[in-house]
Structure 1
Amino acid sequence: MSEKEPYGQDVYGTQPPAGGPPLASVGQRFLARLIDTGLLIVLAVVVDTAMHGPQWKATIGKQMLADILIYSLYFVYEGLMLSRTGQTLGKMALKIRVANFSDGSVPGSAGWVRAAVFALPGILSAVCVGALFWLLNVLWCTWDQPYRQCLHDKAAKTVVVRTG
């Protein structure tokens, strides 16, 4: 196995070689996502308050527009952070990062793919499809072996590794 292929040649190969960074634990991933979800909640409160006012008299149309705006902004946050450094604020706090499966590098454009698969289904939250997909997506890493990948990792061909 060459140095450029720290996680094997295909996504369904064997364990990472001894020289590559260790995979992040499910607990680290959960806590990092919890921090990032806190940011999403703050963003949602700001957007909802701006769109509906303090009385919160939302119509279905206004709420759908708010959901589109909230999840689109979250997509941009996640996409920018992952494509540049492989880390969101939550991942920085937990000392983990997203890495390309093929060579361990910063995801670049794959960060945008990963962000899209994670964030954009939230737009469908009004019909519960987004919430059900999100739940399945984030739980996937609890049974995925050997790389602990969520569906957004599989789509972007990434893994989450420890940085320190």
Structure 2
Amino acid sequence: MSSDQARPPEDDPFRKKPQEPPPSAPPPPPYDADAPAGGGGGPYGDGGGGPYGGNGPYGGAGPGNPYGDQFGAGNPLAGMPPLAGRGRRLVARIIDGLIVGIPVSVIVSLAVGGYNPTKDTVKSTSMSVIIAIVYFVYEGLMLTSRGQTVGKRMMKIRVAMLENGAIPAGRPGWARAATYSLPEIVPCCGFIFWLVNVLWCTWDKPYQQCLHDKAARTVVVTAG
């Protein structure tokens, strides 16, 4: 038998064919050290945030923001406590007015030997000017140091900078106090300005600012 006859044909089904190497697996994705644990995106497509969007558990409230976003993304009040009610602000003003007005009235009355405000116009005007100046100093010192007067502290509200919620230290606190107190010194028109000023918050949106708030770029918020 020749060697050609002993060699099996190429199409022999029982002939063992050489095995082909298995296809190579795709390379693993590159590791990103900055990616959050768990692959980045959350089950709601929020990129690792909470189930309602944003970075916090309920959306809108980022790290260190326990209050959420009251007025929408990008609003300056995002992350700040709620705005103080107008009623609490009014009561705080009344308390501060009594704290300043009563002692000053008594001291001035004793100093000038008593007077009748319905008859002595000059002394009455002088009394109003003195009270306005003392109130200006009182409020300016309190706001720039702690953001609260005694009345505001009793009503659990405080003054905060609109841009970041900080205490209105320095010029903003003094500007706010001056815009509220000093116009009353001007005869006739001063009272009209004061009245418009304090009523402005009743229709101002969305921050409920009076004119003295707008002058200092402040808002009044609740305090814990």
After TM superposition, the score normalised by the length of structure 2 is 0.61
Corresponding residue to 1:142 among 202, 212, 224: 202
How much has 1:102 moved relative to structure 2?
A: 1.2
User: If you compute each CA radius of gyration, which structure gives the higher value, 1 or 2?
Assistant: 2
* 1:63 to 1:47, Cα distance in 2 relative to 1, 3 A: farther
Corresponding residue to 2:191 among 120, 131, 136: 131
Q: Secondary structure at the match of 1:28?
A: helix
> Any conservation in 1 of the 2:76–2:163 contact (CA below 8 Å)?
no
How much has 1:47 moved relative to structure 2?
A: 4.3
Match of 2:216 in 1: 156
How much has 1:77 moved relative to structure 2?
A: 0.2
Corresponding residue to 1:103 among 139, 151, 164: 164
Range with bigger deviation, 65-74 or 83-92: 65-74
How much has 1:30 moved relative to structure 2?
A: 1.0
After TM superposition, the score normalised by the length of structure 1 is 0.82
RMSD: 2.6
Cα distance in 2 for partners of 1:82, 1:50 equals: 30
> Any conservation in 1 of the 2:128–2:185 contact (CA below 8 Å)?
yes
Cα distance in 1 for partners of 2:92, 2:196 equals: 18
Greater percentage in helix: 1
Cα distance in 2 for partners of 1:129, 1:49 equals: 26
How much has 1:61 moved relative to structure 2?
A: 3.9
Amino acid at match of 2:132: Y
Identity %: 47
Cα distance in 1 for partners of 2:124, 2:88 equals: 32
Q: Secondary structure at the match of 2:198?
A: helix
Range with bigger deviation, 65-74 or 142-151: 65-74
Match of 1:23 in 2: 83
Match of 2:154 in 1: 93
Q: Secondary structure at the match of 2:165?
A: coil
Higher RCO (CA 8 Å, separation ≥ 6 residues) = 1
Q: Does 1:117 align with 2:179?
A: yes
How much has 1:96 moved relative to structure 2?
A: 0.5
Cα distance in 1 for partners of 2:206, 2:76 equals: 6
Q: How many residues align?
A: 154
How much has 1:15 moved relative to structure 2?
A: 7.4
Q: Secondary structure at the match of 1:159?
A: strand
> Please, which runs of 5 or more residues in structure 2 have no aligned partner?
1-59
Cα distance in 2 for partners of 1:37, 1:128 equals: 20
> Any conservation in 2 of the 1:43–1:70 contact (CA below 8 Å)?
no
